[in-house]
Amino acid sequence: MARVALLDDYQGVALSMADWKSLAPSSEVVVFKDHLADEDSVAKRLADFDIVMALRERTPFPRTLLERLPKLKLLITAGMRNASIDMKAAAERGVVVCGTAGLPYPTAELAWGLILSLMRRIPAEDRATREGRWQTSLGLGLNGKTLGVLGLGTLGSRAAKVGLAFEMDVLAWSQNLTTERAKEIGATLVPKDELLASSDIVSIHLVLGERTRGLIGARELGLMKRSAYLINTSRGPIVDEAALIRALGDGTIAGAGLDVFDEEPLPLHHPFRRLPNIVITPHLGYVTSETYRIFYGHAVEDITAYLDGKPVRVLKP
C-alpha cells in the first residue's frame, strides 16, 4: 500500500481538485492542513509515508530531513522548480522527485492587485467605509507614472504589459536582459540604479539565487524616490527584510506591497503586521483554483506513473 501525504493544504481543497480515487485502491491519501516549521516535527509526521507532495517551497526538504525519511520513495513538488529540496541528497537516497506544470499569469495579476491596492488605498478605504467613515484619503493615478520591472521573464513581461495598458512608462533590468528583448515587450532597458531612482513603482519578478539574494538592500532602497512603492511577489530574500522595515518606517520609500517573506507563514509578531504603509498577502501569487487543479491533477498523474514504473516530470539535480 502506498501512503501519500499532501502538505500545507491551508484551504482544505486538495482532495476536491483532482481525482484521487483513480489511484490504486490500496493507496491512502492523508491531507495536512497545518504547517510545521520544526524539522523534528516534520520528520515524525512523514516517517511512515512513501510519497509526499510539497506545496511549492512551504516545507523544505534538506539532506538532514531526507535522511530521516527512510520510507520516502517519491517526492512531488508543485511546479517544476523547488529551491528548498536538496535534489542531490534525494538522488543519492534513491528518492524520485517529480514536478507539476503551473500557470504563468496568476502571480503577475496579484502584483497588480497589490499595486492598485496601494495606489488607490483600497484596503484602508474598505476598512474606513465599513467603520462608517467616508473618503478618508487621496489616491494616486498610474497614467504617466513610471513602472520599473526587475526581471522581464514570463511573469515580469506580463506585469510590464499591464503597465503599458495603464499608459505608464516601463523601465526594465535584469542581469541578462538585452535591449532587443526589452523593446519586444515595450520596455526600456536601463541600469538597475537608474531604474530604482526613476521609478514610481518597482516590481520584482526575479528568481531567487546567489545573484539575487539580498539584491535590494539599504543602498538600493535609498536610491528610490520617497514617493515610490516596492512590490515583491517573487521571493522574500531578494529584499533585505531588515533594511525594508527601516525604509518603510523612516519614509525612505512611501510603501510596499508584499506577498513573500523571509519566513513563511509570517510570524505573528513580525513588524510587517504593524506597518501602516504596506499591503501584505500570504504568498497568494499562485493560489488560484485554476493553478491548484493543475498542481493536484498532475500530482495524481505523477503518482500513477511512478507506481507503474514509468515516472513523469522527473526533476534532476
Question: Active-site residue numbers?
Answer: 235, 264, 283
Q: Which long-range contacts (CB under 8 A, 24 or more apart) does 63-67 make?
A: 63/88, 63/89, 64/39, 65/39, 66/90, 66/93, 66/95, 67/93
Residue 261 CA to residue 35 CA, distance in Å, equals 15
Residue 140 CA to residue 185 CA, distance in Å, equals 25
Q: Which positions ≥6 away from 261 have C-beta within 8 Å?
A: 236, 241, 270, 272, 283
Residue 144 backbone zone (phi > 0: left; psi -120 to 50: alpha; other: beta): left
CA 250 vs CA 67, 86, 139, 245, 254: distances in Å: 46, 39, 21, 9, 9
Residue 256 CA to residue 278 CA, distance in Å, equals 5
Q: Residue 144, class by beta-carbon neighbours within 10 Å (0-12 exposed, 13-18 middle, 19+ buried)?
A: exposed
Helix (H, G, I), strand (E, B) or coil at 61: strand
Strand order in the sheet with 28-31: 28-31, 3-6, 51-54, 74-77, 96-98
Beta-bridged to residue 203, according to DSSP, are 149, 231
**Cα dihedral 128/129/131/132 (nearest 10):** 120
Neighbouring CB atoms inside 10 A of 269's CB total 7
Cell numbers of 174, please?
A: 535584469
Residue 200 CA to residue 170 CA, distance in Å, equals 10
